[in-house]
Amino acid sequence: MSNTPISEIPGIRDTLRASFRKGLTRPLEWRKHQLLQLARMLQENVDVFAEALHKDLGKPKFEAYAYEIGVMIERSVDSAKRVDEWAKPVVVDAQDWQRPMQPTIHKAPVGTVLIIAPWNYPLALTLQPLLGAIAAGCCAVVKPSEIASHFAAALAEKLPKYLDSNAYRVVLGAVPETTKLLELQFFYTGNGRIARIISVAAAQHLTPLTLELGGKSPVLVDPSFDVTIAAKRILGAKMQNGGQLCVSPDYVIVPRTHQDALVSALKNAYAEFYPQGSLVSDSISRIVSPDHHSRLMDLLNRSKSEVVVGGRSEGNKKIELTVFKDVQPEDSLMEGELFGPFLPIVPVDSIDEAINFIRDRDHPLALYAFTDDPKIKQRLIDETLSGAIVFNDVVQQLAFNNLPFGGVGPSGYGRQSSKYTFDTFSYERSGIDVPKEAEPFLAARYPPYNEEKLKIMGATVHIPIPASS
């Protein structure tokens, strides 16, 4: 399917804006229908989308069903059930004399939004923000990644058959097409380099922006934890989507005295998961972009660390799952987010050193720790900052519909997932309704001022302040 003609994009934008102004997306029953239609689109075309993901990423059918299509069907249906509750105005507490004014927070849709989606999890990370935009009552333009071209084409074909084209449209293309859309509120998922470019464009239009980025999500392994279970959970999560997942475990920190035990457990897990090796396995996704493949191979070639598992490549699409030991902070593998099937192990001499190692780097999208020690857990909660903190598993936080998902600083800002995506595309609009009967309570605010009025209006100056230590 060809790119959307640039000449058509202003008309698409104007159509959606006109639909929003007319109130097309306002009725809650209409929003519910669109959400359920999104679920029907996926359910009735599950093999179409699974095949597109396989063509783009080599994604196994298991991963397509379990981690993308099924999740989005469930969340679309769940959002349709809950949107009444989410959109309900909230009456806030107030002083006795203010309560008749009905202080209320109204949930207002922000308007027409632009969803710029990535190639690594093209379906889930395209439709997650879209279902939030629908629930909030927004119109939306979806710009799927041109790199995941088969999914983009499938979405462009199927979406208009299920959703109202007056409110939701797909634009295909790359930088030129995206540039034409930059006057809309953004929801961008991707890397920090592109996020900086988009942030500059957003600033020029004073446009609100949500960024879901990535970074180097660390895994801390406490020696007291069952190393066999830790190795399986780390390796299993690392190889989802071939390591091309924003919350993928990027590197492992382990006390130096237990590094070899962890390496041995990872080797055993590798042999169990991929008896013939990961290069020939049909349970692993490939690298989509030749440029990204070249970058990963450059990191591999420049690394000074010892390879203990893997290290081979096949063509420009597949790289073997590769585990490194004795990785030093200055190694090429630690330069930036790996976003691929490499797993560096960084040895440290103490938990203090491990925590400081994490704190000295950008706040990650996720922090993982395998430990049963409540003191270590509490230290990580108190002394580090990350988008999510997960104990004794990896990537499992994505399975929870009602937990917010998002980053901190370089790993992004804003939140998504079900209600949190609804909140992202809603504006909490303050409102009061002051009855005429309140006039006696308000009369003291009018000039001319005098001591009696000052005593009434300035009473809060003299409120008692509780003692504190």
Instruction: Provide the annotated active-site residues.
Output: 212, 246
Residue 325 phi/psi, 5° resolution? -120, 165
For residue 326, the SS3 value is coil
SS3 186: strand
Four-point Cα dihedral 117, 118, 121, 126, nearest 10: 0
Whether residue 358 contacts residue 352, with contact meaning beta carbons closer than 8 Å, is answered with no
Q: Nearest Cα to 342, choosing from 314, 328, 321?
A: 321
Q: How far apart are CA 244 and CA 352, in angstroms?
A: 30
Buried b (16+ CB within 10 A) or exposed e, 54-74: bebbbbbeebbbebbbebbbe
d(CA 420, CA 260): 42
- Edge-first strand order for the sheet with 412-413 is 168-170, 139-143, 112-116, 185-189, 209-212, 412-413
Q: Return d(Cα 375, Cα 396) in angstroms, integer.
A: 22
How many other C-beta atoms can be found within 10 angstroms of the C-beta atom of residue 421? 27
Q: List Cβ neighbours of 98 (8 Å cut-off, separation of 6 or more).
A: none
DSSP H/E element including 389? strand 388-391
The torsion defined by the Cα of 23, 26, 27 and 31, in degrees rounded to 10, comes to 120
